[in-house]
């Protein structure tokens, strides 16, 4: 294994994570470990690699943050950024691991900034351990690069020139002992994503209306969508948050053996005005407990 160091204070290390990532050959033969020293890194990151691990010291002290929102004007004045150009970190490729990091969108609430991703998770076998993902609307997008119009993505030349494949048979994400927060649809997309012993926290929505944790867009025929197992589902205002709503008709979402706070609406789910989705989607609750599980 090769180890690379990133630090804001050590002159012998890379000063940014992006520089460290660009130093790695697309077709490297061994596992790469990138160790990131404590600090607040104002970076917009693009990763298209395989078999790398990015390790921070502690999620409270090793923070990557950026503030792009969907309503931000494009540099070429051709319109707005749109949702999928806002990610603090865009991850494509395969077998990428994040540990002990915070990825934070600082764009602000959706009614001001529009949607703002902390993470665009477009890799297969992305694993995240003891990480914090914070934002408002659309914090984590579990989606392959084909979900949106690739021509509208503002991707740097080095990302587009990479030889690492971005199209996979499966796109699977795993989150263990992580903290995720937001207000509207803050975990969404088509990928299979498993949240294991995580805290999923709904912050108080600044604008009027109920909030939503998930907005799955599971493709028809895909076996699994968004799965939450043994998670703490926490919030700030009673009866203010739905577990989810279907972005696409065949959405699949399951909460299994989770502790649900009193912020969860008694109905549990909302159909987004899609009668067809009530027949085609799978929304599952099993073995949950707490005031929101009634």
The encoded tokens of residue 177 equal: 């002992």
> Is residue 101 within 8 Å of 94, Cβ to Cβ?
no
Quick one: pLDDT at residue 110? 95
Sequence spans of domains, the chain: 1-172, 183-294
Average pLDDT on 62-85 reads 96
Nearest-Å Rg of the Cα atoms of the chain is 19
pLDDT at 105 > cutoff 80: yes
Q: Which of 162, 174, 18, 6 is nearest to 92 (CA)?
A: 162
Q: CA 244, 116, 265: angle at the middle one, nearest 5?
A: 25
Q: Is 282 exposed, middle or buried (0-12, 13-18, 19+ CB in 10 A)?
A: middle
Model confidence at 150, pLDDT cuts 50, 70, 90, reads low
Q: Which CATH architecture has domain 1-172?
A: 3 Solenoid (2.160)
Q: What is the pLDDT of residues 197-256, one digit of tens each?
A: 999 999 998 888 899 999 999 999 999 999 999 999 999 999 999 999 999 999 999 999
CA 288 – CA 294 distance, rounded (Å): 9
Longest dimension (CA), the chain: 59
pTM: 0.96
CATH 3.90.79.10 fits 183-294, yes or no: no
Please check the confidence at residue 34 and state whether its pLDDT lies above 90: yes
């Amino acid at each position: 294994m090769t180890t690379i160091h990133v630090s804001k204070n050590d002159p012998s290390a890379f000063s940014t994570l992006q520089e460290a990532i660009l130093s790695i050959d697309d077709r490297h033969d061994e596992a790469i470990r990138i160790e990131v020293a404590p600090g607040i890194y104002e970076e917009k990151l693009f990763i298209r690699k395989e078999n790398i691990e990015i390790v921070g010291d502690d999620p409270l002290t090793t923070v990557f943050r950026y503030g792009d929102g969907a309503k931000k004007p494009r540099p070429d004045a051709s319109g707005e950024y749109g949702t999928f150009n806002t990610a603090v970190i865009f991850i494509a490729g395969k077998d990428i691991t994040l540990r002990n990091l915070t990825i934070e969108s600082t764009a602000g609430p959706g009614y001001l900034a529009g949607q703002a991703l902390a993470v665009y998770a477009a890799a297969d076998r992305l694993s995240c351990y003891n990480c914090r993902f914070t934002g408002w609307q659309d914090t984590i997008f579990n989606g392959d690069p084909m979900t949106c119009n690739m021509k509208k993505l503002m991707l740097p030349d080095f990302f587009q020139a990479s030889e690492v494949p971005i199209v996979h048979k499966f796109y699977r994400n795993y989150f263990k002992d992580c903290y995720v927060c937001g207000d509207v649809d803050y975990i969404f997309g088509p990928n299979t994503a498993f949240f294991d012993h995580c805290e999923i926290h709904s912050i108080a929505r600044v604008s009027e209306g109920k909030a939503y944790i998930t907005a799955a867009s599971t493709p028809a025929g895909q076996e699994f969508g968004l799965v939450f197992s043994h998670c703490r589902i926490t919030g700030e205002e009673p009866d203010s948050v739905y577990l989810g709503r279907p972005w696409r008709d065949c959405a699949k979402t399951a909460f299994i053996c989770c502790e649900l706070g009193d912020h969860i609406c008694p109905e549990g789910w909302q159909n987004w005005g899609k009668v067809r989705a009530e027949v085609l989607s799978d929304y599952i609750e099993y073995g949950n407990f707490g005031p929101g599980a009634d």
